[in-house]
A and B are shown apart, each in its own frame.
Chain A
Amino acid sequence: MGTLKPALPELTARTRPAAAAAAKAGRGRPRRARWHLAAWVALLPMLLTVVFAYLGTMLWTARVSLSNSRTFPSSDFAGLTQYVRLFHNDRWLVSLQHIVLYGACFIVACLVIGMLLAIFIDQRVAGEGVLRTVFLYPYAMSFVATGLVWQWILNPELGAQALLHRIGFTHARIDWIVDQDSVVYTIVIATVWQASGLVMALLLAGLRGIDDELWKAARLDGIPRWRVYVSIVIPMLGPSISTAFVLLFVMVVKLYDAVVAMTQGGPGTASEVPAKFIMDYLFGRANIGLASAASVVMLMTVLAILAPFFYARSRNAVRKDV
């Protein structure tokens, strides 16, 4: 441990135990204290952000969700009225159904496609760099652009459906984007196209971290390659998969831009989602109390689903340290 030069004379002047105690505590010396002050001054923006932007806004929103606020926040106390109202609101309930359906399809599709792409690229194929670039480029595009491109491709009059009709499949139907029952799946297609490259990149990095010895051992034992993947490699990729899951889950909760660009929540309310519900009630319909209640529900859901992941991860980290 590097002792501070200016402190040395002071140390020798003191009795040993006192000096040791002072050095151990590391405080009480003006110089050191000033340095800490500088560090805290530097961290002031972070402190302000955490206290006001994160914790403060959360508490404010939680408080407003317990009031009768409409256009402007009011300070009355209405108990859980807004929550009761929220869960009697058809549009909210429909939004919840959509996001659960969307989330399940999106996460499973991204993980499966991303995993397949990563495994197939890992077979020492030619042109690996090109393939990786191709699979990941949609991730560089915004959800808005993604939504607009797929809106055009799925356009029932001039898009893929028209093309199929032209080449003879006159009964083919790709009018999902204007169909109440399947519009959610069109958003799944667009966003899976955008995000599965991310999963591929994460899992490929994980695959590259697997020891060659494993493959040699498996070959010696004559285990088929697919079996090695299913029984050994994929379980070993657990941490990468859970990272990918967390990222995808956050995307699901935040789903807003793609819906706005692609369907505006329609046809009717067939592709409404919670994030859009909250935005509409905050700014369009001026019902802040209800929107706040909805965002608190959203926050609780996120915490409830992510908490076990972080708990498991921190436990693993501790176990590794020991």
Chain B
Amino acid sequence: MSTLGASSPEQSAQPVQATLMSPRRGGAPRRRTRFSPARAGVYGFLLIAALFFLLPLYVMLVTSVKPMAEIRLGNLLAWPTQVTLRPWVDAWQAACTGLDCNGIRVGFWNSVRIVVPSTVLSIAVGAVNGYALSFWRPRGAGLLFGVLLLGAFIPYQVMIYPMVRVLASVHLFSSLPGIVAIHAIFGMPVMTLLFRNYYAGIPVELFKAARIDGGGFWRIFLQLMLPMSLPIIVVATIMQVTNIWNDYLLGLVFAGTQNLPMTVQLNNIINTTTGERLYNVNMAATILTSLVPLAVYFVSGRWFVRGIAQGAVKG
């Protein structure tokens, strides 16, 4: 690729120095750069981009602690002169969905009730599938897995209506078990892929040794593989909690009015309420709804990114 002979002596001296001074892997330029216009440009761009990305968060926070009188002045970015937590309290326990004024906490607890069993179930199914596909490889399972992965790309709209009818016929439509089953079904492709790829990295000799020692399907899974799966279980939990918490469409259709998740209730509070729009309460409710996935994101950091990278390698 490079033509060494063509380079001048000064240039050839640089890489040596660069390798010595590179403390970490990756990254394009190797040498420590002093201040230069290009460098300033890099930081300028990143700073402006960071401000753009942070702007909505700032606007949400500032709006949520202003009284309505201050919001009506139309100064979106201004720091509040009078900080009030009243909108947060109202959003949590008094915001109205139609005639029902119990606040967004109703949706919060519904979402908790949906997310916990859905996450556990989808991870359990994904782990067993991945384990069976990686180590047991029953005849025809590879093809089945291929079709399952394709299923990840089918638009929900194709499947929703028949699913409603199937669930209605077994009396699970508009119920908590119904929406949990739906999340397990729609989460299955990615979860299975995640665990299959993880188990593919475990030496098959380990599995064979366990078989020689007389371990059966479930015993090897529960006593050998599951304890080794902790890292991928963490990644899967992060993914599923975030995805299911943020789901709107499935919750809207399948959960039923008694179990509407927080995202659906948030949208109802903001978009279908008549009368004066309380922007501060709305923004407080929006932050409250985003709090769980944001907390997961800020706490988990690199694990979150890992989930994206591994879930993204579809196909």
Contact of B148 among A50, A150, A225 (CB under 8 A): A50
**Cα A43 to Cα B19 with chains together (Å):** 51
Q: A162-B74, A207-B28 are in contact. Are A54 and B154 (CB under 8 A)?
A: yes
Q: Looking at the complex, which one of B27, B158, B296 makes contact with A296 (CB distance below 8 Å)? A: B158
Which residues does chain B contribute within 8 Å of A216, judged by CB atoms?
Answer: 2, 15, 18-19, 30
B128 at the interface (CB under 8 A from A): yes
Q: Does A175 contact B (CB under 8 A)?
A: no
Q: A134 with B166: in contact, given A160-B76, A214-B1, A302-B155 (CB under 8 Å)?
A: no
B298 close to A54 (CB less than 8 A): no
Does B163 count as interface, using CB distance less than 8 angstroms?
A: yes
Give the contacting residue for A2; candidates B128, B211, B297; CB below 8 A: B211
B202 to chain A, nearest CB (A): 15
A151 to B137: give the CA distance in the assembly, Å.
50
CA distance A283 to B161 in the complex (A): 9
- Asked if B313 and A207 sit within 8 Å, CB to CB, the answer is no
With both beta carbons as reference points, the residue of chain A lying nearest to B18 in the complex is identified as: A216
B27 touches A122 (CB 8 A): yes
Partner of A125 from the list B43, B148, B286 (CB cut-off 8 Å) is: B43
Contact B266 A144 (CB under 8 A): yes
Q: Are B76 and A295 in touch, CB under 8 angstroms?
A: no
Least Cβ distance of A219 to chain B in Å? Answer: 6
Q: Which residue of A lies closest to B32 (CB)?
A: A124
Shortest CB–CB separation between residue B81 and chain A, in angstroms? 15
Q: Which of B14, B54, B266 lies in contact with A134, CB distance below 8 A? A: B54
Residue from A50, A148, A250 in contact with B266 in the complex, judged by beta carbons closer than 8 Å: A148
Q: Please state if A49 and B185 are interface contacts (CB–CB under 8 Å).
A: yes
Q: Are A56 and B153 in contact (CB under 8 A)?
A: no
Candidates A46, A120, A198, A299; contact of B192 at CB < 8 Å: A46
Name the one of B141, B145, B290 contacting A142, with C-beta atoms under 8 angstroms: B290
Cα distance, A143 to B264, chains bound together (Å): 11
Say which one of B93-101, B171-179, B212-220, B225-233 lies at the interface with A: B212-220
A60–B159 alpha-carbon span in the complex (Å): 9
Task: State whether the Cβ of B237 lies closer than 8 Å to any Cβ in chain A.
Answer: no
Q: When each residue 28-67 of chain A gets 1 if its CB lies under 8 Å from chain B and 0 otherwise, what string results?
A: 0000000110111011011101101111111011001000
Q: Classify the interface of chain B: helix, strand, loop or mixed.
A: helix
Contact of B248 among A42, A260, A282 (CB under 8 A): A260
**B147 an interface residue at 8 Å Cβ cutoff?**
yes
Produce 1/0 per residue, A9-45, CB < 8 A to B.
0000000000000000000000000011011101101
A299-B154 contact given A50-B147, A225-B29, A310-B315, CB 8 Å threshold: yes
Contact B11 A254 (CB under 8 A): no
How near does chain B come to A105, taking the closest CB pair, in angstroms? 17
| Known A149-B59, A153-B56, A216-B18; contact A43-B132, beta-carbon cutoff 8 A | yes
0 or 1 for each of B1-39: is its CB under 8 Å from A? (1 = yes): 111101110011011001100100111111001000000
In the complex, A282→B165 CA distance in Å?
12
| B27 and chain A: residue at smallest CB distance | A124
User: Quick check: is B259 within 8 A (CB to CB) of the other chain?
Assistant: no
Q: A121-B46, A152-B63, A219-B14 are in contact. Are A38 and B218 (CB under 8 A)?
A: yes
Residues on the B chain within 8 Å of A116, using CB: 45, 49
A322 at the interface (CB under 8 A from B): no
A-B contact pairs, 16 of them (CB 8 A): A2-B209, A39-B132, A46-B145, A73-B165, A122-B27, A134-B54, A142-B247, A142-B290, A145-B266, A163-B74, A193-B52, A212-B30, A216-B2, A216-B30, A260-B267, A298-B155
Q: Which A residues fall within an 8 A CB radius of B?
A: 1-2, 4-5, 35-36, 38-40, 42-43, 45-47, 49-50, 52-58, 60-61, 64, 73, 113, 116-117, 119-125, 131-146, 148-153, 155, 157-160, 162-163, 165-166, 193, 197-198, 201-202, 205, 207-210, 212, 214-222, 225, 233, 243-244, 246-247, 250, 253-254, 256-257, 260-261, 264, 275, 278-279, 282-283, 288, 291-292, 294-296, 298-299, 302-303, 306, 310, 313-314
